[in-house]
Chains A and B, each alone.
Chain A
Amino acid sequence: MLKLESKQVNFYYGSSPALKDINLEMESNTVTALIGPSGCGKSTYLRLFNRMNDLIDNTKLTGEVLIDGIDIYKKGINVDTLRKMTGMVFQKPNPFPKSIFENVAYGLRVNGITDKQFIEERVETTIKQVVLWDEVKDKLKKSAFELSGGQQQRLCIARALAIQPSVILMDEPTSALDPISTSKVEELIHELKSKYTIVIVTHNMQQAARVSDHTAFFYLGELVEVGTTKKIFTNPTQEKTQNYITGRFG
């Protein structure tokens, strides 16, 4: 059960700043929603926690990003191990060109697990966890591309859960899904809350209101306001937040 934290974080793409002096704490066993208009830096912020931004050339970070009090950008931190600790779910369902089974087993395999029985058990429990088992149990060997978009996204969540991370980072996980699939994923997020620290980036106000305990509003690379979801949506202290959640811009 881990706490995510950032202290005076500034982040630059080349010379243009994408995040400005972000100080934010996210409690364990809660869902924190990051909201804000496109380009406000919320995705960039999310990707700090599994060091996904390392993949982009010519970027710079100052300040501290902490998971459970440990600076994850410190020298000597193994990035692969860090990423194993943090599961990530992407905007669009992005299963690998492999079978359903192998998609979920992937994380185990790349992390050096070879015990066949163990892998099989873990795949089954994880797929059950995302309530996909009944739909796919007869076609585990089939390509993951044969599933519908919503099923694919739940499979991708299962893929992230299989390595038993402590943190789950979700980058607009339902933006490519239809309403029914969306509500299934949201239910799932609700259930996962008891075991994981979840951060979700979303464009969808209602979704933030429905699934999250805390909400942080980003605007132009700055953290404008953070608080319990209830407070942000009913009684924000900042005018910008008020304008955004009521749909006056964004």
Chain B
Amino acid sequence: MKQVDENKLAKSKKRKQSLAFFMFGFIGFVIVGILLTVLSFIVFKGVSVISWDFITKMPEEGMTRGGIYPAIIGTLCLVGGSMIFAFPIGVMAAIYMNEYVRDGIIKKIIKQMTNNLSGIPSIVFGLFGMALFVNKLGFGDSILAGSLTLGLLALPVVIRTTEEALKGVDDTFRHASLGLGATKWQTTRRVVLPIAFPNIITGLILSVGRVSGETAPILFTVAAYFLPKLPTSIFDQAMALPYHLYVISTSGTNIEESRPIAYGTALVLIIIVLLTNILANFLRKYFGKKVKMN
């Protein structure tokens, strides 16, 4: 071996490694720190705003006082509406993809298209929703148009998580059922779906979290700037939490005055995201164990 000073080499290798590892660890924690900063900032600023009145009252005095009740209801309507549309279709599409269609060109095309759909920016969904639902189909700015737009956006998420869930079901279950003379659909409905159910629901919850925070798709399809009454039909406009936050923090009547409301609204949004995440994780763990035990 050509002579290299062993000790010097070993020391320099060690030094470089320690430095690099320290730096990377540091950066890793900085990133977690950023997350905690964003969260805690919103929590600290928003927690004093949140009260029973805040979540049950109409906005008042140019949205500088009062609550965000109609925005909460609006977001609930939109989330509900989009899921009524996206969940069954997404689950059925995933079943078709995973249980029925054979590997081949059709499967490839559907996969590719679903992928493409999930890569489309949300503002483009907004454009599309406006062109098709609001104008072409004449729904106008309405909960219906907004829900459908959001539903399309959530569709790839539902499909992907459901597919994962179905893939997680061991083939022996299917073979056992088919071997007993059950049809494909009977097998799917009575054997595959019950086993995959917890993970499908987890996917549903995650898409709820995603949809409730989306703003760009609802800008031109449903969102009302200020509407101090609750929607009465699916053809009504509605306020929504993310849009409300956008409006009062950038173009409200009095931005400084409505800052506390903005912090409160941001906190409510964060809480929704946290809750859906925690719930999804909990379900995954809880049912994950249960399925294994059986």
Direct contact of A and B (CB under 8 A): yes
- A interface residue numbers (CB < 8 A to B): 78, 80-81, 111-113, 115, 118, 163-164
B137 CB within 8 Å of chain A: no
Closest beta carbon of chain B to A41's beta carbon, Å: 30
When C-beta atoms are compared, the residue in chain A nearest to B10 turns out to be A78
Query: Chain B contacts of A118 at CB under 8 A?
Result: 2
B6-42 vs A, CB cutoff 8 Å, 1 = contact: the mask equals: 1001101100000000000000000000000000000
**CB distance B2 to A81 under 8 Å?**
no
Q: List 7 other contacts, CB 8 Å, given A112-B9, A113-B2.
A: A78-B10, A80-B13, A81-B6, A113-B4, A115-B2, A163-B1, A164-B1
Query: Chain A contacts of B2 at CB under 8 A?
Result: 113, 115, 118
Question: What is the bound-complex CA distance between A248 and B270, given in angstroms?
Answer: 65
Interface size on B, residues (CB 8 A): 8
In the assembled complex, 9 residue pairs joining A and B whose CB atoms fall closer than 8 Å, in A order, are A78-B6, A80-B10, A80-B13, A81-B10, A111-B9, A112-B9, A112-B12, A113-B2, A113-B4
Closest beta carbon of chain A to B10's beta carbon, Å: 5
Query: Chain B contacts of A78 at CB under 8 A?
Result: 6, 10
Question: What is the bound-complex CA distance between A115 and B1, given in angstroms?
Answer: 12
Question: What is the bound-complex CA distance between A80 and B1, given in angstroms?
Answer: 15
Closest beta carbon of chain B to A165's beta carbon, Å: 9
Closest beta carbon of chain B to A136's beta carbon, Å: 23
Query: Chain B contacts of A163 at CB under 8 A?
Result: 1
Closest beta carbon of chain A to B20's beta carbon, Å: 14
Query: Chain A contacts of B13 at CB under 8 A?
Result: 80, 112
Query: Chain B contacts of A112 at CB under 8 A?
Result: 4, 9, 12-13
Question: What is the bound-complex CA distance between A163 and B6, given in angstroms?
Answer: 13
Question: What is the bound-complex CA distance between A65 and B215, given in angstroms?
Answer: 65
When C-beta atoms are compared, the residue in chain A nearest to B7 turns out to be A78
Query: Chain A contacts of B9 at CB under 8 A?
Result: 111-112
Query: Chain B contacts of A115 at CB under 8 A?
Result: 2
Question: What is the bound-complex CA distance between A112 and B3, given in angstroms?
Answer: 10
Question: What is the bound-complex CA distance between A81 and B8, given in angstroms?
Answer: 12
When C-beta atoms are compared, the residue in chain A nearest to B4 turns out to be A112
Q: Top 5 A-B pairs ranked by shortest CB distance?
A: A112-B9, A112-B4, A78-B10, A164-B1, A81-B6
Question: What is the bound-complex CA distance between A81 and B10, given in angstroms?
Answer: 8
Question: What is the bound-complex CA distance between A115 and B6, given in angstroms?
Answer: 16
When C-beta atoms are compared, the residue in chain B nearest to A118 turns out to be B2
